[in-house]
Amino acid sequence: MRTAKWLVNGLGNVLLGLTGVCAVFLAGCILTGCTPYIVLSGSMEPNIKTGSLCVVDTKAAFHEIKTGDVIAFETGSGSLVTHRAVAFRDGLIETKGDANAVTDGLTTSEANFRGRTICSIPYLGYVLSWLQTGRGKVLAVTGMATLALLSLWFD
């Protein structure tokens, strides 16, 4: 019984700690003008893996981007792409995915530029993507409720 109580309290503390870290991360993003995005393809591997969570500085200025910066831009279909800036011509940025053999061409103008990627957290995007599904939400809430009830029962 003592081991079960220790386990339930430990899991509860870990869950509470993770929730706190996520809250601080999201508050930091809001306060600094950053937006998190989930990477859906492998075009930037091995530097940014599929399923990573990329943090994009949406306050970054288009004219301050340099060759080698990883930027986020919106395509004509409305999807967001994260690729590396490789050249500049006529007020446009030519981009290329690190894993791609050829460039995207002159794809990014100031109008479709969304920001500069400042960091990526591998695999966290998979977790967040799963938590956005119906099954993920139900299992997360059920797990938290079960831990809360077990904590009350052991106390």
Active-site entry in 41, 77, 109, 129: 41
- Which among 38, 139, 124, 17 has a CA at the least distance from the CA of 82? 38
Q: Listing from the earlier edge strand, what are the strands of the sheet with 70-74?
A: 34-38, 53-57, 113-121, 70-74, 80-89, 92-96, 105-108
Active site residue 41: yes
* DSSP 8-class letter at 100: -
Structure tokens at 66: 């340099």
Structure tokens at 140: 């997360």
Cβ–Cβ under 8 Å, residues 109 and 92: yes
Query: Rounded to an integer, what distance in angstroms lies between the CA atom of residue 31 and that of residue 66?
Result: 25
Active site residues: 41
